[in-house]
Amino acid sequence: MASHELRLRRVLAAPRHEVFRAWTDPDELKRWWGPGAFTTPHAEIDLRPGGRYLLIMQPPSGEALRLAGTFRAVEPPALLVYTWRWESGVPDPTESLVTVEFIDLGGRTELILTHAGFPPGADSTPYLEGWESGLDKLGALFPSQTEDYHATRQ
């Protein structure tokens, strides 16, 4: 059986180097990363192929969640590919793969996010909801809110 993937698209009112920096600079990432009322008090990013990242996400109540992975591709400011694995807080040992494309639209950025590798039958709804909420927070960092939105599940 084939795995399935999520694909989300946003157009953000910022140049792609700024959007790329918001995704890859630990201090910038902590400003928006995580769904809803989650915060991200800790972010480590070794931004190079083979480099690792560690994000500690804090829900409004309860235990913090540790998310970690390895960068497979880093092409500033156009592309990130990295593995995704929960180290604690979420009962899901599956490693998946996230690809983020940053497309230059002349002062705006089209962001295409693909989260792939969910096992057959896995419920990816929490991931979809988390990405939608997180991307809303990312869009709020820039002068104009997200201009276009599209999400699919395959």
> Nearest-CA neighbor of 21 among 32, 11, 10, 34?
32
What tokens does 42 get? Answer: 């800790």
Bridging pattern class, strands 96-104 and 52-58: unpaired
Tens-digit pLDDT profile for residues 127-142: 999 999 999 999 999 8
All structural domains of the chain, each given as residue ranges with its CATH number in brackets, are: 4-153 (3.30.530.20)
| Of the listed ranges 20-34, 37-51, 67-81, 112-126, the one predicted with least confidence | 112-126
Structure tokens at 116: 């792939």
145 is written with which tokens? Answer: 């809110």
pTM of the full structure: 0.91
